[in-house]
């Protein structure tokens, strides 16, 4: 019996013809609902119509361009993409049964953003501690903008006692960055 009747290029969730990154992160109906709450109404057309590479680059580098709340938009954008991806995987592979992933994408992204910002603050504070016995407590270099910063945040967190959120950020964004590098090129 043939159970998987959709073609490889078709979205198994909404039936759209092409299931690619653009569809999953931006055009999938549930993804679009999340973006509508975060993107200025007068910018929604450009947000939805620019090509996918520009979409990622613009969101990571120009927070003023699309976001309603521009504070840490690069982090929030990345977090939303990540939780959309997790949610979709849960729907596709676990029929949406994974308890943790069932929470709304936006809630998860906002909680994650708060942890990431707190971690950044702790890292910044540590930066200004005096060294002990001539040995630096931490080796720190200012992070580049965007996803690399995210990863650095996560690495810092363990050393600062934010173990749980550090583990969360590091695990998830370690794997995300691999995929992400492919798009930015």
Binding site for Zn ion (CB under 5 A): 11, 13-14, 16, 28
Tell me how far, at minimum, the Cβ of 10 lies from Zn ion, in Å. Answer: 8
Residues 135, 153: Cα–Cα separation, whole Å: 22
Tokens for 171?
Answer: 């695990």
Q: Which residue is nearest to Zn ion (CB)?
A: 11
Shorter beta-carbon distance to Zn ion: residue 11 or 113: 11
Tell me how far, at minimum, the Cβ of 129 lies from Zn ion, in Å. Answer: 49
Tell me how far, at minimum, the Cβ of 23 lies from Zn ion, in Å. Answer: 6
Q: Which residue in 169, 165, 139 sits closest to 151, CA to CA?
A: 169
Q: Helix (H, G, I), strand (E, B), or coil: what is residue 135?
A: strand
Residues 69, 37: Cα–Cα separation, whole Å: 10
Residues 95, 14: Cα–Cα separation, whole Å: 14
Class of residue 92 by CB neighbours under 10 A (exposed 0-12, middle 13-18, buried 19+): middle
Shorter beta-carbon distance to Zn ion: residue 14 or 68: 14
Residues 130, 43: Cα–Cα separation, whole Å: 46
Shorter beta-carbon distance to Zn ion: residue 101 or 168: 101
Shorter beta-carbon distance to Zn ion: residue 14 or 129: 14
Tell me how far, at minimum, the Cβ of 152 lies from Zn ion, in Å. Answer: 34
């Amino acid at each position: 019996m043939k159970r998987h009747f959709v073609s490889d290029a078709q979205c198994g969730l909404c039936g759209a013809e092409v299931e690619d990154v653009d569809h999953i992160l931006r055009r999938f109906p549930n993804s679009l609902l999340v973006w509508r709450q975060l993107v200025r109404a007068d910018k929604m057309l450009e947000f939805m119509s620019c090509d996918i590479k520009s979409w990622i680059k613009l969101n990571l580098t120009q927070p003023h361009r699309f976001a309603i709340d521009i504070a840490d938009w690069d982090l929030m954008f990345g977090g939303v993409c990540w939780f959309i991806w997790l949610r979709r995987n849960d729907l596709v592979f676990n029929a949406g049964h994974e308890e943790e992933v069932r929470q709304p994408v936006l809630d998860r992204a906002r909680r994650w953003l708060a942890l990431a910002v707190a971690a950044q603050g702790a890292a910044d504070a540590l930066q200004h501690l005096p060294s002990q016995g001539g040995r630096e407590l931490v080796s720190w270099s200012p992070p580049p903008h965007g996803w690399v910063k995210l990863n650095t945040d996560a690495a810092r967190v363990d050393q600062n006692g934010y173990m749980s959120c550090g583990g969360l950020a590091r695990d998830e964004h370690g794997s995300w960055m691999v995929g992400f590098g492919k798009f930015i090129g």
